[in-house]
Amino acid sequence: MKEDYRELLKPEIINSVSGLALISRVIVDGYLSGLHKSRRVGAGLEFSQYRGYEPGDDLRLLDWKMLARSGRYYIKQAEIDTHITIKFIIDASASMLHQEEDLSKVDYAKVLVAALAHLSQKQGDAVGLLTLNDKGLEQLQPSVSQQHFNRFLYALSEIKSEGKWPSSIASERLHNRAHKELLFFVTDLYERTTEITETIKQLKTSRNEVAVLHLLGKNETEFEYEGQVIFEDLETGQKLKVNTKEAKQGYLDSFQNTMQGIKDDLLSNGISYERFQTDTDIGEAIQLFLKKRANLL
């Protein structure tokens, strides 16, 4: 596995369209140089088989002769290149500004999403982007063109992490329940009660795949602090002085219990959960992407 891209993880590179384009290309080419296009059945080339009509199918694919003979609706299927719709939903609240080793969680999210979107484009998928905090919702509707991908990278580079996650938001604003979609929800899951996890659970339907990419810094998972440390809540500004030696074990126990509870809750709702530290390799996310994409075909 190549990790040359980590030398490019500098704010001045990440927060530019050309920089994100370069990083995403280095990551994807490094991991997937031998990738072959996947294929599926659908509308297009040589006839393969029939299947029953499902709501949302293109009516032009109905076989009217089969309807006349059987009284049932059937769709003609053929083998074609695979294309799906992929949306990336990014938590743009202020907690994503947490930084370790000169890399913030939001900058890691930008690189992660840029790489997955670049891979999506190579597959011919439509990609869309949504960023959200209590200041508002920014949307870029899915498309497949190179011009759109450049707009996608620009929107990524312009993300400003501020405020909090909204207390509530209608799930219909985040996805199309009538269509198959692969949704990647990128967040640090910093929530006051359950506002983020409840939003995520509302996204799951029988027609889509939802994967949570949980971003955390190494110190957040391992609490490798020493001495007296003042912690600041990036969303409220509240500060707390802590004796790290006395607090460490209690923090780790509480952290593990909370994270396991969230993971179990999401999994029980058919939502995948993957945790990424900002010092770990993005190749793991690419493997997850390929698995989830295959599940939707």
pLDDT of residue 278: 93
pLDDT of residue 138: 95
| Rounded distance between C-alpha atoms, residue 108 and residue 184, angstroms | 15
pLDDT of residue 284: 79
Is pTM beyond 0.85? Reply is no
Per-residue pLDDT of the chain (297 residues; tens, 9 = 90+): 445 788 899 999 999 999 999 999 999 888 766 444 443 434 433 444 566 766 666 666 677 777 777 777 766 655 444 578 999 999 999 999 999 989 999 999 999 999 999 989 888 899 999 999 999 999 999 999 999 999 999 999 999 999 999 988 888 889 887 778 999 999 999 999 999 999 999 999 988 999 999 999 999 999 999 999 999 999 999 999 999 999 999 999 999 999 999 999 999 999 999 999 999 888 878 888 888 887 776
DSSP H/E element including 70? helix 64-70
pLDDT of residue 186: 97
| Rounded distance between C-alpha atoms, residue 14 and residue 20, angstroms | 5
| Rounded distance between C-alpha atoms, residue 24 and residue 287, angstroms | 15
| Rounded distance between C-alpha atoms, residue 98 and residue 199, angstroms | 22
Three-state DSSP at 58 gives: coil
- Asked if residue 151 lies in contact with residue 140, where contact means CB atoms within 8 angstroms, the answer is yes
Phi, psi at residue 44, to the nearest 5°?
Answer: 160, -80
Three-state DSSP at 203 gives: helix
| Rounded distance between C-alpha atoms, residue 199 and residue 210, angstroms | 12
pLDDT of residue 285: 83
Q: Which domains does the chain have, with CATH numbers?
A: 4-35+83-296 (3.40.50.410), 39-81 (no CATH)
Count the neighbouring beta carbons within 10 Å of the beta carbon of residue 18.
Answer: 11
Amino acid at 295: N
Three-state DSSP at 175 gives: coil
* Bridge partners for 232 per DSSP: 239
Strands 103-104 and 99-100: antiparallel
Q: Largest alpha-carbon pair distance within the chain?
A: 80
Phi, psi at residue 122, to the nearest 5°?
Answer: -65, -30
